[in-house]
Amino acid sequence: MDEDLYHQRTLSETAFSLLKDDGEKLRSRSWHGQFRELTRKCIVHNLSQAAS
């Protein structure tokens, strides 16, 4: 298996587990609203990781 690809997979799995462990649920009811909310959570997560 390609090591770079495997490393990307582990990073994405870590990010997903951090988002899931956050304890928060999506509050939006529509698919579009949930997509926007999840996108914002990912942006905030990436910014907090870049700051630390």
pTM, two decimal places: 0.59
Element (DSSP H or E) covering residue 6: helix 3-21
Three-state secondary structure call for residue 42: helix
| 3-state secondary structure string across 15-41 | HHHHHHHCCCCCCCCCHHHHHHHHHHH
Phi/psi region, residue 23 (left: phi>0; alpha: psi -120 to 50; beta: rest), is left
For the stretch 15-28, pLDDT in tens is 778 777 655 677 88
pLDDT for 21: 66
Domain boundaries, the chain: 3-51
Contact 19, 40 (CB under 8 A): no
For the stretch 1-49, pLDDT in tens is 577 777 888 888 887 787 776 556 778 889 899 889 888 988 988 898 8
